Structure formats: structure tokens, C-alpha cells
Structure 1
Amino acid sequence: MMRENEKIAEVFGKLVSIDSPSLKEREMADYLKKLFGEIGVELEEDQTGEATGSNAGNLFARLEGEAGSEPLLLGVHMDTVEPSRNKKAVFHPDGTVTSNGTTVLGADDLAGVTAIYEAVRYLKEKNIPHRTVEILITTGEELYCKGANAFDYSKVRSKEAYALDLSGKIGAAAYAAPTLISFSASVKGKAAHAGFYPEKGINSIQAAAKAIARLPQGRIDENTTANIGVFAGGTGTNIVPEACTAKGEIRSLNHEIAMKLLKEYHEIFQEEAEKARAVFEWEEKLNIIAYETDLGGKAAENYRKAVEKTGLEPEFEKTFGGSDNNVFAQHGIEGLVIATSMNQVHSCSEYCSIPEIRQVSEILVNLCTAEK
């Protein structure tokens, strides 16, 4: 049996009380090394801070298991989105935990950190034979997986991974996630007085607006979305706007479709800028790459058995959100993103459940003790 809910709540509450916004994870990294060290797990910190911009590195540990056992990787991140300063966990009688309403709770992803800690503590204290378990706790995940992208995967033996970073019913797992591309289109025209000499100007906003009107947006198909989310330009109502910028993103479960749509966006913006005789600048960033894990493979089959052994029903789904698992997939590691008791994430209404975190820990124990 796992520890009683009160002990799990104590661990979670302490983690929530530590400020760890993206790229400011120093205090959290130090505490996690101490916390895991107390149960005999040495978390090694890498030197990726310079590459990521964080004041801390990723944390990695390996618990050697039974001879001949196939290793598995448990992934989680230590950073939280803002507003996250001075977080405080508010515990309710039914086991639900919320923030005080002025910050996020940080269950994304501290519920996952707690679940991994509890599972590993249980295995070690009970001296239970297990598979080799690798743990990776990353920085900057909320900023398109900065820590995971900078990590040295030559350290990892696992070809099977479980990222604890999904909302929803416990037992659910995401087996596919999208390519996510962000872009910025800047149009520079020519300023002129809008009342006296408008014909001498080149209206950058008009050129960009014509491009945006031609772009497919919203849900493009069942696997693809696109959005212009930021548009800014101009300096005054009586001035022909010299410059403006549009920013947006494209997501697709099909990488090739995402790249094709990105090319279309680029070409349309460029066409309209050239028609207006404006200067055009384009920036794009491929943040994460789509993957789809085989539901007949080891990761899905082992997860299915682990959930059923806990008495729950496994459910598999696709997600339009990215995670460190996108990066794992690029390194040949077959993985799933599993539900971890985080709800209404990235908002001050975020909440989790201590009994659910306990269930997640039980699922992890079952994964770690699965037959090779």
C-alpha cells in the first residue's frame, strides 16, 4: 500500500510553496535533490542552464533494477507558468487541492513530481524488485521544452517513457501530439500624413490585413489548427502606418501538413507585401515535432496493464498540447503522456486531487515492476 493521503499532501504542499517559474527553478532543483536524496536517490544536475537561460539544470537519476530488466524513463518538469509567485496549496476535505485564487496551483507539473517521488520511495522502502528506472526532471518545459531539448540523451538507456503531464481522468494517456510552429510576419511600408499626403505613404496594416484575409485559420482539418493571435502596428490615426507585425502559430498532428501550411502563410504574406511595395520580414520557429506512439507497442501495452492492475480503465487519446514526450520521441524513445491529476491548468482555477496523485503513484509502481 502507498502512504496515507496526508503524507502525500505534505510532500505536494511543500513543493507548491516553492517558487519555480520557467527559467527560475534554482530553489526547486535544490530542494528536489535534497528530497530525493533522503530516500537514497541521487539526482544529478546537468549544465544546460547556459543553453536554456535557466538558473538551474535538468535533474537525472537512474535506479538500477533487476538484471536483464528493460529500463523505463519517467519524465516530469519542475517549472510552472505564471502567475506563480507565493503559491499556496489550499486543501479541501474531499482531497481536492486548489490555490488561493491569486496564482496557479502548480499541479502542472508538481503533481507529477509528487507521484514519482512517492512511487520511488515505496519501491525502495519496501525493497521491491523492479525494472531499472530513469528519472528526468526538466527545466523550462513550459517554454517549448527548453530543458528537454538541451538534455544529453546519451545518458538514457530507456526506449520506453512516460511523461507525467496530462490533464484528465486518471488512466488516460496521450499517444500522439502535434508539431507546433510559431511565426512572425513584419511588414514595413512608408509613413505619411494621412490627411494631406496619404498617396505618398505605403500602408503596412492594409497590406498585412489583405494577407490575413486570405489565410486559412481556425480548425483547418481534424488534425490541424492555425491562428493569428497578435497583431500590432501604427503610431497614430493621422499617420499612414509605416510598420506592423502579425504573430501566430500552427499545430498539426501531421508534421508535413504543418510545414506545408507554414509555407503557404509565408508566401501569402510576402505576396501582399510585394504588391504594396513594402519590405517584408519573416521569422519562424519549429518548437516541437509531432509523434504518434504505436498502441500495439510496449509502452502502451505496459501502461494498459499497469492501469488495469490499479483497478482503473485505461483510455488512449490524441492531444493538441506539446510536452517533453515530443522530444523523447525525437530521440527514439517510445512514450506516452499520462494523466497526473492536473485540471484547468495555466489558470488560477487549477486544481488537483491527493487521492488521484496516490493512484498515479500506484500506476507508476505497476509500470516499474512489470515483467521484462
Structure 2
Amino acid sequence: MIDEKSIAEFFAELVSIDSPSLEEREMADTLKAKFAEIDVLFTEDHTQEQTGSNAGNLFVRIPGSLEGAPILLAAHMDTVEPAKGKKAVFHEDGTVTSDGTTILGADDLAGVTAIYESVRHLNETKTPHRPIEILISTGEELYCKGANAFDYSQVQAKEAYVLDLSGAIGAAAYAAPTLVSFQAEIQGKAAHAGFHPEEGINSIQAAACAIAKLPQGYVAENTTANIGKIGGGSGTNIVSESCRIEGEIRSLNHEKAMELLETYHKTFQQEAEKVQASLVWKEKRNIHAYETPLTSDAAKHYESAVKKEGLTAAFEKTFGGSDNNVFAQHGIEGLVIATSMNQVHSCAEYTRIPEIAQVARILVHLATEK
């Protein structure tokens, strides 16, 4: 049986380890040791130079005794801040929180725990299962740094389950957006604002004109845009010489995201040129949109596994990214499944041990699907 006491102990141990993004060394070492105790031997890659982490991604392939294509189970070992000195506080109703001064780290240690418990159960009970591959990545919270650097020639699975979603158990995201970030730096000319303003070129004015012309918020049903940071100038009596604007665009349609990004670029360029200022433009595609067909093996098998747990699968689109965005670019069809992580990226984050057990049982059902 899936053991809730084992789950609670394993989860609490992981929570006690500091593993903010790019500082995953102790977590990686702990996971290799804990999984080795159940005869699962991870290989750690050498992607540190690419990611900037002090640890690599962990990967293992577990042979199966059932016919059927392999499945990939995935989670990430890093957490957002504030993450130093975390501890799990258990409550009588099965809820687990932090002490309120840090995040808990259920994102994504609840996912790691569910994977561990499901594999422990399969191994100890000698239950026949399909081949299983496990990838636990670094730097996921920094736009999937570890997953982007991973060598996918190692992966045989074309069906993935990424344990990294908030929501009721049984929910699964089958589509996620392209997310691009941009930075526009307008360079004008400083002058004394009281005596010779006509000699200056006001970069803030050019930026304001551009921003006023650009759509923000929901610009279409599946597309958002946001300018989140702006700064510039050196004094109230000086015509602003430079101004920097930063923002992001998200869309479930990759082409729409790139078209809107080009509109932003052109608008800032035009407004800078109108006042004879210059523009330095930077952009970065952080993740690429995907949509996994609901007719895929991943969706069909997940629906069946959730039903065996007495639940109903709820398929949804999400505006958040995950390692599944990267997997899709390598021909792997996957879902991001709900994993008992709630109010993530905040000090109010919580999980529930019985729900992690449910997720572990769903993973067992997936592994034993014929």
C-alpha cells in the first residue's frame, strides 16, 4: 500500500533542505542517496556550465516487465525564494505548511515525493509495470534552465507526466503558452530642465508615448502583455537622458506572441525616432507554447488512471510554463498534472499528505497501464 507516514517523513526531509534555484547541490545528493535505497540509481549530468547551477539534472531509466511504451515522470528540485531555513509544519487535518516565514516548497517537492513513493511501492511489491524514466531537473523556476540543457537523446519515452500543477487532484494541463520577455532602453540627451530644456531629448517622454499606444492585459482571448518595470532619469531638474522599460508577453499561440512582440519593438522604435532618441532593444523567448492532443496516449492513460482512483480527470489550459514546454519541443507528448501544491510562490503555500498519496497511486496506475 502507499504509505502516508513514509510520504510525510520523506517530504519533511526534503523540505528541510535549502534548494533555491541554482543552489540544488545538497538536494541532488540527497535524492541520489534516497532513491538508491530503493534500488533506483540516478545519473547526474554535467549541465552546470550551461545553467549556472551547482548541480546537474538527475535521470534514470527503470526497466519494465510489462509490454508497452515507457513513460517519463518529471519534477524539479529547485524552489523559489524565500527558501532558506524551511521546515514542514504538520496540522491535524493532514495539511502541511511552512512556519510562515518561508515558502514550503511543495512546488515541486510534493511532485518529487509522489514519484519516490510510487516507485518505492512498485519495487517493494514487485508489481509488473511499464518501463519508467524519471527526470528531476535544476533551475526550473528560472524558465526551465535544467530541462533546456538536458540531453534528450537519453529519453526513450514519448509520453510524459510532469508533476508541477496547482489545483484539485485529477486536473491536468494540456496546453501552455509561449512566454517572451523584452527590455527597451531609450537613450535621449540630458539638459538642464529649467534653463535649456530645448537642448535635451526626453527619453521618458518617448517611452510614455510608446506605452500609451500599446495594448496591455488581455489583448486577445489567449494572449496577455504586461509592462512591469520602468525607470530612468537622474533628477527633476534634468531632462531624462535614459529610460528602461521591461515586460513580458504570453500567448497560447506562438505566432501571436511573436507578432505582438514585433509590434512592441516597432512602437518603441518609432517613438524614439520621433524625438531623435535611440533605442536598444533586447528580447528573449523563455518558453515555447505547446498543446498536447486530448486524443494522445498521455491524455487517455491519465484519464483512465484518475478514474481508477475514483476521480474525474479535468483537462485545462494554463498560462504558466513548466518543463513540459521543453519536452514538447523534443517530440514528447505530456501533461502537467495536479500534485497538491497550493498558493505556490508564497509563504502561505501548503500541501496535504493524503493528496500526495493520491498522486502516488495515480502514478502507479499509469505505470501499470497496458
TM class by smaller structure? over 0.9
Q: Tell me the distance in 2 between the aligned counterparts of 1:140 and 1:353.
A: 25
Q: Tell me the distance in 1 between the aligned counterparts of 2:198 and 2:30.
A: 64
Structure 2 gaps of 5+ residues are none
Tell me whether 1:324 sits opposite 2:323 in the alignment: yes
CA contact (8 A) 2:77 2:138 kept: yes
Q: Tell me the distance in 2 between the aligned counterparts of 1:43 and 1:115.
A: 17
Match of 2:116 in 1: 117
Match of 1:132 in 2: 131
Q: Percent identity?
A: 70
Tell me whether 1:343 sits opposite 2:320 in the alignment: no
Match of 2:254 in 1: 255
Query: Deviation at 1:6?
Result: 2.1
Q: What do residues 91-115 of structure 1 show as CA deviations (whole Å, max 9, x unaligned)?
A: 0000000011111000000000000
Q: Tell me the distance in 2 between the aligned counterparts of 1:43 and 1:297.
A: 28
Aligned-partner residue type, residue 314 of structure 2: E
Q: Tell me the distance in 2 between the aligned counterparts of 1:277 and 1:345.
A: 45
Q: Tell me the distance in 2 between the aligned counterparts of 1:56 and 1:50.
A: 10
Q: TM-score, length-normalised on structure 1?
A: 0.99
Assess, with a 3 A threshold, how the Cα gap between structure 1 residues 316 and 142 changes in structure 2: closer, same or farther.
same
Tell me whether 1:169 sits opposite 2:168 in the alignment: yes
Q: Tell me the distance in 1 between the aligned counterparts of 2:296 and 2:217.
A: 33
Match of 1:353 in 2: 352
Q: Secondary structure at the match of 1:176?
A: strand
Q: Tell me the distance in 1 between the aligned counterparts of 2:192 and 2:117.
A: 67
Q: What do residues 186-221 of structure 1 show as CA deviations (whole Å, max 9, x unaligned)?
A: 000001111111111100000011000000100111
Aligned-partner residue type, residue 162 of structure 1: Y
Query: Deviation at 1:66?
Result: 2.1
Tell me whether 1:30 sits opposite 2:29 in the alignment: yes
**How many positions carry a matched residue from both structures?**
370
Match of 2:313 in 1: 314
Tell me whether 1:59 sits opposite 2:49 in the alignment: no
Tell me whether 1:13 sits opposite 2:12 in the alignment: yes
Q: Tell me the distance in 2 between the aligned counterparts of 1:182 and 1:100.
A: 34
Aligned-partner residue type, residue 265 of structure 2: H
Q: Secondary structure at the match of 1:54?
A: coil
CA contact (8 A) 2:174 2:291 kept: yes
The CA RMSD measured in Å over matched residues stands at 0.6
Query: Deviation at 1:293?
Result: 0.5
Q: Tell me the distance in 1 between the aligned counterparts of 2:275 and 2:98.
A: 51
Aligned-partner residue type, residue 282 of structure 2: E
Q: Tell me the distance in 2 between the aligned counterparts of 1:198 and 1:72.
A: 66
Q: What do residues 140-161 of structure 1 show as CA deviations (whole Å, max 9, x unaligned)?
A: 0000000000000000000000
CA contact (8 A) 2:66 2:128 kept: no
Q: What do residues 226-256 of structure 1 show as CA deviations (whole Å, max 9, x unaligned)?
A: 0000001011111111001000000000000
Query: Deviation at 1:120?
Result: 0.2
Match of 2:282 in 1: 283
Q: Tell me the distance in 2 between the aligned counterparts of 1:370 and 1:329.
A: 22
Q: What do residues 315-364 of structure 1 show as CA deviations (whole Å, max 9, x unaligned)?
A: 00000000000000000000000000000000011001000000000000
Match of 2:2 in 1: 2
Q: Secondary structure at the match of 2:355?
A: helix
Q: TM-score, length-normalised on structure 2?
A: 0.99
Match of 2:99 in 1: 100
Aligned-partner residue type, residue 87 of structure 2: K
Match of 2:152 in 1: 153
Structure 1 gaps of 5+ residues are none
Q: Tell me the distance in 1 between the aligned counterparts of 2:161 and 2:333.
A: 9
